[in-house]
Structure 1
Amino acid sequence: MSATAFIAREVFTGSEIHMGKAVLVKDGTITAVVDAKAVPAGYRKEELGGYLLAPAFLDLQIYGGNGKLFSAELTTEALEATYEYCLQGGCTQFQITLATNSIEKFVRGLEVAREYRNGGGKGLLGVHLEGPYINPAKKGAHIEKFIKKPTVAEIRHLLQKGKDLFRMMTLAPEQCDRDCIELLLKSGVVVSAGHSNATYDEAIDGFYQGIPAATHLFNAMSPLQGRQPGMVGAIYDNNDVRCSVVCDGVHVDFASVRISKKAMGQRLFFITDAVTEVQYGEYVHVFRGDRYTLPDGTLSGSALTMLQCVRNGVEKCGIPLPEALRMASLYPATVMGMQEHWGTIQPGARADLVLLGEELNLLQVIVDGER
């Protein structure tokens, strides 16, 4: 592969915005950021138009895209369609997500994800299992008949089938024995507290046990109230736990995102929680213009892209652009322990980049150093 110097008006490295810089890329990896006038010999210069070159985005929770819902199809084609949808919003790495379902369907989903990756499929960080170990009182759009309490044997089975692909699990800590959570954590699965009716004390206990994350702040979790701080209060109060938020003004009011950002700082990050319209399978999603619902009207997923999350963060929540970009790139990468590879423009990081216009419109996506 050739060595390329990408030159843009401004470059956001993940920490700050620089002018007059070139990003040097070789074999899909960033080698250096240098002055645009000091590009070394051997690098082909590519002058990029637009406004800002930034790290590409990561989506840790998405169910499908472009008309294909993964759980309804369980095909590599559905994963390819989801990847293409992600690219349309500047996202090059995604975790395909399966909502509460049978263990057999989860296992098959893990197998198809492996087929996709082994077949050269791009962008798949891993599989996020959202459920089935959740609280029926906070099931949201999840199917109650599949909700259950975990056993160590069943988790071992999922871990064995998932190996390096089972990367994240949303569960309700108050529904799970400590040894089940411990097994997941020791096996390298990022456990995320969600679809939970935990009291403040139950949630804090889960975080002290080592649960590092929580799923879609405010949605399907016990709220913050004066006498009952709940899961939301525990998330605010614990300085280590990171939490995703669906920044579409539908799942969460933009004012609630702004308030939460003030309380949580770098611990809050974006997901799309996006689904796609589908009329078959266990989860039927109906498009309602700015959201998806079940046929009965229950909110069931967003119509977001990661770039729209960033735009909403800046325009609707007053989050400074560098911080909004981090919420879509560096912070989700950090949740997964991958901040050395994604979310920054620095030597050794993957050359996955987005070029944005002044209106924060997407001009180009660069994957592995290739336009």
Structure 2
Amino acid sequence: MKQIIAANKIFTGTEWLINHALIIQDGMVESILPTVALKETASKQVPLLIPALIDVQIYGAGGKLLSVYPTVESLQLLKDYCVNGGAAWFQPTVATNSNEVIHACIDAVREFKKQPGNRCIGLHVEGPWINPIKRGAHLSEFIYQPTTEQVKELLEYGKGVITMITLAPEVCDASIVDLIQSYGVVVSAGHSNADYATATKAFNDGIGTATHLYNAMSALQHREPGMVGAIFNHPTVYCSIVPDGYHVNFEAIQIAKKQLGNRLFAITDAVTDTATGAYPHQLNGDKYESNGILSGSALTMLACMQKLHQYCHIELGEAIRMCSLYPAQVIQKQGITGMLKPGQKADWIGLNEDLTLIHSVE
């Protein structure tokens, strides 16, 4: 099936094209041409056409938190939430919990990924191998320092499903990180009280990314730069951030952007209302709290992009990359690029000039 989508502006992931059209053949980008060169009538016209967005940390939607309702139905609600918020791909996340709950989430994601068009990257396991000092809203009774055998047991059970694990590098030594990465799983440093030297060594030893900058990590101090300082100073490590204005002040995001450049990317860290399970979340304004502690956002990926542009004053193309290209570079999955280029999957969304969504991925 062939589609021709004309746009006033197209952002490919690297450049803006004015008055061009995206030519799609069987779901793949065939070409991007000036509209004056078209020999056929466009099937659709949009003001702005950009790569669809990617969320690598989100916990639930529609009143169905994955850890409480680890089912295919919950993941379908989560997919719908992400797609309606401009994201083509999502990585459902389970926070620090019992082995039974984590296994149930693995089972649900494994089953969901069998469905055609599921758009699920895999499961992000955030904890329980974290530092209790920086647990945030995570429950201390589930936090522990794992043995190699315990790590291998989880990796074997979650083989082909777990795609990312957030851990504290001072809790898990380099041999455990190497073991996790040998399964093709991305290791992210987070919920950590590591000092600057420990965090820098972990990044030098191969941890390539960190989880929600500033939140639940040792802070940048003038005599102890902490994990934040290590992230700022490292030449290659990526880091996610939650751009809702509550998890992180918008001016602090601007500071981080100047330090990290193309290594800073957005996540929603979004949760949903639930009164049961280990993590009851209640909506308070436009953020969520659990047991009185800030626990998650009410963001979509499109809202992330909008806030980065409007409140952090980041150029629109760069704000788009922070929500598409850079997450794709972190997860490194075939067919997920965060770009629009000939020969690649045609994951695109259409926006009005005010950046509201008028067409999401199908």
Alignment partner of 2:43 out of 25, 40, 46 = 46
Give a deviation string over 1:324-354, Cα, whole Å, max 9, x none. Answer: 0000000000001148633111012211111
Q: Which amino acid aligns with 1:345?
A: L
- In structure 2, stretches of 5+ residues that fail to align are none
Q: Secondary structure at the match of 1:173?
A: coil
Q: Which amino acid aligns with 2:347?
A: D
Structure 1 ranges of 4+ moved more than 3 A: 338-341
Q: Secondary structure at the match of 1:350?
A: coil
Q: Which amino acid aligns with 2:74?
A: A
Deviates more, 1:133-142 or 1:337-346: 337-346
| TM-score, length-scaled by structure 1 | 0.95
Q: Which amino acid aligns with 2:32?
A: V
121 and 162 in structure 1: CA distance in 2 versus 1, 3 angstrom threshold: farther
Partners of 1:306 and 1:366 lie apart in 2 by: 13
Alignment partner of 1:116 out of 88, 112, 115 = 112
Alignment partner of 2:64 out of 57, 61, 68 = 68
Partners of 1:120 and 1:345 lie apart in 2 by: 22
Contact 2:83 2:361 in 1 (8 A): no
**C-alpha RMSD of matched pairs (Å):** 1.3
Q: Secondary structure at the match of 2:113?
A: helix
Partners of 1:47 and 1:88 lie apart in 2 by: 19
Give a deviation string over 1:136-192, Cα, whole Å, max 9, x none. Answer: 000000010000112221222222222222100000000012211110122211100
Contact 1:342 1:352 in 2 (8 A): no
Alignment partner of 1:140 out of 136, 143, 149 = 136
Establish whether residue 91 from structure 1 lines up as the match of residue 87 from structure 2. Answer: yes
Partners of 1:330 and 1:94 lie apart in 2 by: 14
Contact 1:111 1:161 in 2 (8 A): no
Q: Equivalent pairs: percent with the same residue?
A: 46
Establish whether residue 345 from structure 1 lines up as the match of residue 344 from structure 2. Answer: no
Q: How much does 1:366 deviate?
A: 2.8
Hey, what does 2:300 align to over in structure 1? 305
Partners of 2:352 and 2:63 lie apart in 1 by: 28
Deviates more, 1:106-115 or 1:323-332: 106-115
Q: Secondary structure at the match of 2:67?
A: helix
Q: Which amino acid aligns with 2:6?
A: I
Deviates more, 1:348-357 or 1:55-64: 348-357
Alignment partner of 2:221 out of 222, 225, 242 = 225
Hey, what does 2:169 align to over in structure 1? 173
Hey, what does 2:178 align to over in structure 1? 182
168 and 222 in structure 1: CA distance in 2 versus 1, 3 angstrom threshold: same
Hey, what does 2:2 align to over in structure 1? 3
Establish whether residue 271 from structure 1 lines up as the match of residue 270 from structure 2. Answer: no
Partners of 2:155 and 2:37 lie apart in 1 by: 49
* Count, aligned residues: 362
Alignment partner of 1:329 out of 319, 324, 327 = 324
339 and 327 in structure 1: CA distance in 2 versus 1, 3 angstrom threshold: farther
Partners of 2:39 and 2:232 lie apart in 1 by: 47
- In structure 1, stretches of 5+ residues that fail to align are none
Q: Secondary structure at the match of 2:218?
A: coil
Q: Secondary structure at the match of 1:98?
A: strand
Partners of 1:314 and 1:330 lie apart in 2 by: 16
Q: How much does 1:261 deviate?
A: 0.2
